[in-house]
Structure 1
Amino acid sequence: MPAVLMLRALNLGDLLVSVPAMRALRRRYPRHRMLLAGNPALAEVAALTGAVDECVPHRGLGPPAVAAPDVAVDLHGVLPGSVRALQALRPRRLVAFACAEAGHTGGPLVREVEHEVAKWCRLVRYDGADADEGDLLLPPPDVASPRPGAAVLHPGAGYGSKRWPPARFAAVARALAAQGHEVVITGTAAERGLAARVAAAAGLPETANLAGTTGIGSLLALVHEAALVISGDTGVAHLATAYERPSVVLFGPASPRIWGPPAKPCHVALWHGTGEREVLADRPDPALLRITVPEVLAAAARVLAASPA
């Protein structure tokens, strides 16, 4: 059976914003086996998209371990490295943005400012796929939520410039708990200490700290059944979009015009930046620090009011 290889060897949020494009490719190539070269930790999420038959474990910008796919699609977005990685596989057809440095001219031009969902949908439309930018939702996982109905706060992020101060997350958690919400703090195993500091400062019990205790399936279930999700610009925010849970997303170095949730009443993106360039650094971005605790609580009240119980 001929294969379509999709390269997206990144993290959770990166995978979720590419779901409409991947589903469009599935419809475009119904007789092909759909392979995703990507983060092996996200295989369960990839399966839920309905667009992937097999995950090929892959990280970085070397050529994926796939021999001569019929079609190779560059959804990775790092030019020219990702284009060259797929060229090395000698596919019959390469679907990628034009990149003169890699010698590839048969694709659309990259735009300086474009939402990630729209970007990948535009690429696959160039190949003839019928892509729907609103096709972002996931079916629920096959596991139960560890805390159904909880308000989920996720203070961590891959870069310090995307991390709102822990003391402010704690103030939000304390206020939500006073309103009667069960509040839980999520994060990776490496962020368990951060989550513990937030929980302690908010006066929450130790059991509120779920950082490092949820596998990907449990995290999906937790967000799927959450009453509210508050996070920085990271993968959990995109999960809230995928399950249409009320969410407040705090943006700093990156613009919501590129990474923000859909324009729906159940989502609010807070941003006080002025540019479109994403600057990744160790310290919280100045634009992120302009977001206040009362502003976040007011946004939470709005999305909760706009969403059914």
Structure 2
Amino acid sequence: MTAAPDDAPRVLVLRALGLGDLLTGVPALRGVRRAFPRHRIVLALPAALTEAALATGAVDEILPAEALERAVPRLDHWPGPPPDVAIDLHGNGTESRDALAALAPRRLLAHAHEDPVTGRPPVWRWDEHERERWCRFLGAYGIHADRDDLRLPPPQAASAAPGAVVVHPGAQSAARRWPAPRFAEVARRLRALGHRVVVTGGPTEDALVLDVAGRAQLPGRDVLRGGLPFGELSALVARAALVISGDTGLAHLAVAHGGPSVTLFGPVPPRLWGPPPGPRHRALWKAGPPGDPHGSTPDPQLLLIAADEVTEAARTLLRPGPARRPAPAMRPRNGDEARVPPARP
């Protein structure tokens, strides 16, 4: 997709959420890009997601917008004249609509706003998958978006662990975090089957990463701390043998690259946020009442998933690894960390 010139009229899209939200919104963003080929598409979202947003090929520029504590960000730092079109892909309430309306766009598309061209806005459906929701929303305005148009191009960066199983134990909220000892147990079992396993996490999840790595007795080279930059993270996921994670951004990144994944769901069922149907993805979920995806404790339904189930799901997606015994623990030499020390139970 070719970028529009700097002086072209602009379409402002608001989706100031996380990585998973961005990636589920890719089909809608590409629909907007095709519908406005002579406009510059500006996406309002956190600045940390700039590289990921530009990788979609659907966005010309970023308007940094942080939705702190799930609040709608202010957009009063919008530069230049009002946007030609403003599109609310952030939510269905008046807060996100008002943030866009304050910029006086020529046309505003939002669930909470009647459009003079089409009349009543689309109806919000709580039982709809996130990808389908925004494609249907745009369709109400005559903008076609394909819910299956979600793949990212192959990343240019090299992978830190090509062919490895990537274990990602973190999530933005505790409600979606499966216990660290269970992630470690799965990692140990897959290593015993001959697979290389690496563990990764976000910028604030070093303690969790070290806990899982220590329990699984991973070598230091397979412990990826500090939160990888998006390009490196994308390359790691794109060239992984498998990604194992909770319902978080990395699971959506695996889907975007078409790689095998096992995703653990708890408060939100996979029919609302899960991967598309197909043999390369396993969504594990214990049916039950919906929970709070932003809760401060692990969701009860998530805790019903056992390490045996995750290991078996992983084995169905992995080729057999070379037979080997795990290397014995080594003492660090010359200050180098040869092996992460086991965590206390």
The residue aligned with 1:293 is 307
The equivalent residue for 1:13 is: 20
2:217 alignment partner in structure 1: 203
The answer to whether structure 1 residue 36 and structure 2 residue 43 are counterparts is yes
Q: Are 1:53 and 2:67 an aligned pair?
A: no
User: Which of these residues, 187, 194, 207, is aligned with residue 173 of structure 1?
Assistant: 187
Quick one: distance in 2 between partners of 1:115 and 1:250? 17
What's the offset of the Cα at 1:234?
0.2
Is 1:241 paired with 2:255?
yes
Higher helix share: 1
TM-fit CA distance, 1:252: 0.6
Does the 8 Å contact 1:150/1:228 carry over to 2?
Answer: yes
> Residue 4 of structure 1: SS of its match in structure 2?
strand
Where do residues 122-201 of structure 1 align in structure 2 (5 Å cutoff)?
122-201=136-215
Paired AA for residue 84 in structure 1: D
Are the counterparts in 1 of residues 238 and 257 from structure 2 also a CA contact under 8 Å? yes
Deviation at 1:155, TM superposition (A): 0.3
Aligned residues of 2:88 and 2:109 also touching (Cα < 8 A): yes
Find the residue that maps to 1:190 and give its secondary structure.
coil
Give the counterpart letter for 1:267 in structure 2: H
AA of the residue aligned to 2:272: I
SS in 2 for 1:119: helix
Distance 1:241 1:89 in 2: 35
- Distance in 2, matches of 1:166 and 1:63, equals 37
Q: d(CA) in 1 for partners of 2:143 and 2:208? A: 43
SS in 2 for 1:195: helix
Q: Could you tell me how far apart the structure 1 residues matched to 2:83 and 2:113 are?
A: 20
Bigger radius of gyration among the two: 2
Deviations 1:247-279, CA, capped at 9 Å, x for gaps: 000001111111100001100111113234544
Post-superposition offset of 1:43: 1.1
- Percent identity, please: 52
What CA distance in whole angstroms lies between the structure 1 residues aligned with 2:227 and 2:112?
42
Any unmatched runs of 5+ in structure 2? 1-7, 320-345
1:26 and 2:33 matched: yes
Write out per-residue CA displacement over residues 71-90 of structure 1, whole angstroms, 9 at most, x where no aligned residue: 00101115121111011111
For 1:213 and 1:286, the matched residues in 2 are separated by: 28
Letter in 1 for 2:45: G
Size of the alignment, in residue pairs?
302
**Contact 1:63–1:89 (CA under 8 A) maintained in structure 2:** no
The equivalent position to 1:269 in structure 2, one of 280, 283, 301, is 283
Aligned equivalents of 2:257, 2:44: Cα separation in 1: 24
Deviations 1:122-164 (A, max 9, x none): 1111121111100010002221111111100000111111110
Deviates more, 1:204-213 or 1:158-167: 204-213
List structure 1 runs of 4+ shifted beyond 6 angstroms.
none
TM-score calculated relative to the size of structure 1: 0.94
Q: 1:83 aligns with which of 86, 97, 100?
A: 97
Deviations 1:1-46 (A, max 9, x none): 1111010111100000000000001111111111001111111111
For structure 1, the residue ranges without an aligned partner over 5 or more in a row are none
TM-score (norm 2): 0.84
Asked if the contact 2:88–2:96 (Cα under 8 Å) also holds between the matched residues in 1, the reply is yes
- Cα RMSD (Å) of the superposition? 1.6
**Superposed, which structure 2 residues align to 1:56-75 within 5 Å?**
56-60=63-67, 61-64=72-75, 65-66=77-78, 67-75=81-89
Amino acid at match of 1:22: L
